[in-house]
Amino acid sequence: MSKPNVLVITTDHWPASLLGVAGHSAIQTPTLDQLSRNGIRYTNAYSECPICIPARRTILTGTPPRVHGDRTFQTTLTMPELPTIADCFRDAGYQTYAVGKLHVFPQRNRVGFDDVILAEEGRPQWGVVDDYDIFLGDQGFAGRQFDHGMSNNEYSARPWHLPEDCHITNWATRQMSRMIRRRDPTRPGFWYLAYTHPHPPLVPLDHYWDFYRDVEPDGPYVGEWAKDFESLPYRVKLQRAGWPTLGAKAIQTAHRAFYALCTHIDHQLRVVIGTLREEGLLDDTIIMFSADHGDMLGNHGLWAKRTFYEGSANIPMILVGSANDQRVGDHRVDARLVGWQDIMPTVLDLAGLEIPESVTGLSMVGDQKRDYFYGECNEGPSATRMIHDGRFKLIYYPTGHRIQLFDLETDPRELNDLSDSESHKKHRDELLQVLTDELYGSDEDWLRDGKLVGLPDVPLETLPNRGLSIQRGVHWPPPPMTTPVAEPKDRTIQ
């Protein structure tokens, strides 16, 4: 029996709620909605560490930060000595290709892929000009990727400034479609397509900007616990300070632009799927769609990622099996707790390939399910941790020893913190003990005689945003480059 092809599609900053099939009031995602009906949508999917680089180390190795070594966004940390998802498929005779954002160091490390067509969001400072930048130069737009003036880490918005075919979403789609058409017909393919949006900059094409012109997005929601700034945990204050409160009009504009970038990706996926169909491959291809993390989009007064509230940590996870694969089926919704460490063992399992012993994730079509999901983000004063049991979620902030508890069954928007509720004390204490048992490394400084006590609270000190949230500039001639110094591989924590 021939092995199935595998297509893994990832995006950046896409919350699980932003799907039509999930009941969102404004977003239009007809392709992803249909893919959900063609397979399984996992509603309790979470990012183990809702930051770009740690998440990508997780999907590539099938391991969480405890194993792969990054929970803080270490830009020059080399990959751990672990088999990658690409290694496993390549060693099984697959042709393995990646298009888009890998976010590994060094940037041209192929991490097991036969070839990588790279887009790194304008990061030439490590000595690499990526393939998207080269493409723009070939089109006569050398160094003009960021002429729009929008930052990669804030929420001003305007339409895309170059021709439509030069948008990075179109470019990635076209590159992957050509890769599929240029495949070796005697071997199965493992294809990894990593879109950079809807991660800011918020620069959708005019067509998609107009698509949402008359749409009235729901405004952000704010929990009772989030209304008094002074009472917030230090990490939440820090996040609020990093993205000062926007006015109602600016929030509405940001939401429309964000939705536009999502719908643009959704429509471009149709080109990739159409290519598979016309090549006669669609029925024999496993498709996985997910995102590295979400975006708070103003909910609870917060933007971006690095928190374990639903907008940031709950991610889309859609799995479509090859035709007639009853392990996946269709029109299914699965509430088991899953994460990015589970993608690698799932697609290996469906392809009939061996899962390396180093993988800690679980196959999402297997019988084994986890009782708890552990999340960790940052270290030191800005650290936050999460334990989720499928209904109750406990979020822990060591600075100030702050605990929050939410019942996601009755309160999916996390409006009411139950951590002080006497009737929920049992759930709180049980989850707190599970979290304590998960701690390792520097987190053990939060313990005293085996009991979790956290760290002293610290005052919030805000600094001016002189770089406009890492604003890019003119990239032709190329901006100054530095000599990268790799962080040692023994940063991997076993």
Q: Under a CB-based contact definition with an 8 Å cutoff, are residues 345 and 361 in contact? A: yes
Region 250-260: mean pLDDT is 96
Q: Residue 478: what pLDDT?
A: 86
pLDDT at position 1 over 60: no
Who has greater pLDDT, 483 or 338? 338
pTM: 0.96
Q: Residue 492: what pLDDT?
A: 33
When the pLDDT of each residue in the chain is averaged and rounded to a whole number, the result is 94
User: Is residue 117 left, alpha or beta, with left meaning phi > 0 and alpha meaning psi from -120 to 50?
Assistant: beta
Per-residue pLDDT of 316-368, as tens digits, reads 999 999 998 999 999 999 999 999 999 999 999 999 999 999 999 999 999 99
Region 171-188: mean pLDDT is 97
Region 183-201: mean pLDDT is 97
Residue with tokens 């993988």: 359
pLDDT tier at 485 (50, 70, 90 boundaries)? Answer: low
The token pair at 416 is: 């009411």
Q: Residue 484: what pLDDT?
A: 63
CB crowding 338-347: b at 16 or more within 10 Å, else e = bbbbbbbbbb
CB crowding 66-105: b at 16 or more within 10 Å, else e = bbbbbbbbbeebbbbebbbbbbbbbebebbbbbbbbbbbb
Residues belonging to the active site: 52, 103
Region 380-401: mean pLDDT is 97
Question: E strands along 61-126, which residues?
Answer: 95-100, 115-118
pLDDT at position 288 over 70: yes
CA distances from 45 to 2, 20, 70, 332, 334 (A): 30, 17, 20, 15, 10
Give the separation between CA 380 and CA 392, rounded to whole angstroms.
Answer: 25
Task: Quote the DSSP letter at residue 439.
Answer: -
Q: Residue 486: what pLDDT?
A: 62
Region 186-196: mean pLDDT is 98
pLDDT at position 249 over 70: yes
Per-residue pLDDT of 289-313, as tens digits, reads 999 999 999 999 999 999 999 999 9
Region 5-369+473-491: CATH code: 3.40.720.10
Per-residue pLDDT of 57-87, as tens digits, reads 999 999 999 999 999 999 999 999 999 999 9
Amino acid identity for residue 267 in this structure: H
CA distances from 393 to 320, 388, 404, 456 (A): 28, 4, 8, 24
Element (H, E) at 52: helix 52-61
Region 92-108: mean pLDDT is 95
Q: Residue 110: what pLDDT?
A: 96
Long-range contact set of residues 247-252: C-beta below 8 Å, sequence gap at least 24: 248/219, 250/155, 250/156, 251/219, 251/220, 251/298, 252/216, 252/217, 252/219
pLDDT tier at 491 (50, 70, 90 boundaries)? Answer: very low
Q: Residue 462: what pLDDT?
A: 84
Per-residue pLDDT of 444-475, as tens digits, reads 999 999 999 999 999 998 888 999 988 999 99
Locate the domains of the chain by residue range: 5-369+473-491
The rounded percent of the chain whose pLDDT value lies above 90 is 89
Per-residue pLDDT of 228-248, as tens digits, reads 999 999 999 999 988 877 889
Q: Residue 481: what pLDDT?
A: 77
